[in-house]
Structure 1
Amino acid sequence: MVEPVDAWWRRRQWSRGTAVPYPVGAFRSAWASYPVLIRQYHPEWNHGVVLTQVPPAAEVLLTWECDVGHVFVATPAEQRSRPGRERRRSVWCPECQLQATPQRWPVLPEDWPATVPVPQRVERVRGRQTLPAAPARGAPPAAGGALAGGRATGGLPTGAVASSRARSARPRSGRVAQPVPRSICTKTPRLPSGESFTSVCAPATASAVEADLRQALQERFAFTFAHTAIRLDRPFFDHVEAWPDIVLPELRVAIEYDSTGRHGLEHVGPRQETDRRKDRAVRAIGWEVVRIRTGRLPALGPYDLEVSGLSGRTLDRLVDTLRDLRGALFVDAYAR
């Protein structure tokens, strides 16, 4: 029966009558052919049990972390025998496998409704592929012998015309487009999802207003303002970390200051969708996002503030929002 690693270790201690049932390095040769699994196994996440202390055939649930940063639970047998006959790099991750699965176009059923446009509808008649003729406006559908739009087939059989069109619509290479592999930055420290830290990849503060907002918060609260990034549980572009303008680790709140910029192109259009995606990634790990939106930018989240600029009133509204999020007693405990 599969059991957690702590229960499995206690049971082995009782059955063998010793505090260390398997010494460190007892199964080093068995795991030597899986260097990636050795790198992705962390004893601190498995109650201090080292991988070389675990028999490869043990029915025990171990915690692993893939190269991207996804944390999942699997047995040694599941890790050593890859599902789906995939053995690249001797590693498997359920989240990475889901993201790498190519999306296939659905196949039209035989009884597809007649409301589908004629050029996209394919029927099979006596083993041949034929394209049904488009009926004239106000007339019943034709039995065959003409193409869509009333054009003649030029003496060619309907099946031959359909086959030639199918060949012209088919990709010349005959290969299915594969997703472009992404390279994830390896400079992000190995931390649990939701932990904040000082990132070497975080960009410098690009706005003087952000610096003023940070200084105003520092004067009122004793939060930790040195952190610049939050560890995510899935990639965000080429990193597994997010860089909010201000990170408040004590409250687990990220503050963003948004303006349209000098040319009125910031945080609008596709960039606004990037902001939404970033907010979803941060909220998925237990944080909350408060955006201060200026320049008539609409609010994206339930706690966003629509203001005309940074002022004392804006700072008061921000503090009231933090109190609503985490409680007045908790927030005021950090007041200077």
Structure 2
Amino acid sequence: MKKVISDRQTDDRQAGIFALYSLCCIFLSLCLAGCDRRELTYYMESEIEIHADWSESGLDDEEAAYGATAIFYPENGGTPKVVLMGNREYAKVRLPEGRYNAVLFNRSFDDFACIAFRGSDSYCTLEAYASRAESRADELADSPETLCADRIESFEVTEDMLGNYSDVMKAGIPAAEDCSLCFTPRQLIEELQVTVHIKGLNNVRSAVATINGVSSSVFLATGEVSQQTLTQRFELDNPVYYPDSPFNGTMETTFNSFAFNPDRPHDVSIQARLVDGQSTYEQEFTGLDISEDVSEEGTLILTLEVQTDKVPDVKPEDGGDSGFNPKVEDWGEEQKGDIKV
């Protein structure tokens, strides 16, 4: 009888130990499941918000339809991440852990007619250049469109930011401002206003001009222009006569370029076709200075003014005299009447 009781006690003790062991295993499993350890979640990226404030870009509302492009360059030299932003003011991107240099600019690589890009595989070499240059003459035929950009350097995606887009992982994620970037693009293009004062404007049918020393490209990461320069060709239009002269006046134009160096003199050449349809007039100006001013809005204004010599008088192609050729039929119908004396 005593032996039977001892065996039962042993069985009960073993059952209790097993039950306790099972409870411990269950409790440990629950603890591990509830532990917020990053390495157990397998999230490899963080979601970063991209904000762009275009208020200082000078771009009009129509430009917004082109969107924008953001490029994230890993500082370790990995493959850049390109984000095409249909909404140029806001987008999201997911990035692995690491440090990044980022560039944002208006439009995309393929949306410019007179600008192309090179060196896009590296942050420091990303360069926008004038794409419509005539290589033999080293002359730029078309003015580049307005290009605006901004940059943010050494932005870091840390381990505790990974998986911030998951509801499960939001506990313990850094504040939202730590997972967002704000760009303020500004123009990398300068605008030059050229005014030509012409003696004998009445003899001019059309005119074009060139100016040398124009930078051929700009680096988006720094905003610095290249040392290589081109000659910019532009048309003169909008002829306006002086109030006190039917013969003399001005022609002018405004065009874009990557940069002008006001500290270095520029050479300007003017070629005009005259009203006789055959003659031309050319004049060159050397050592001209570009004037700098700032508008009330804080915009940089570059201006250049030149004064030509007297353009030769020629007979207009229609047979008039220097553009003034009234015809009898222009006087209206003939009317007869008596003149009282």
TM-score by structure 1 length? 0.19
Q: In terms of Rg, which structure is larger?
A: 2
Greater relative contact order (CA < 8 Å, ≥ 6 in sequence): 2
Which structure dedicates a bigger proportion of its chain to helix? 1
TM-score by structure 2 length? 0.19
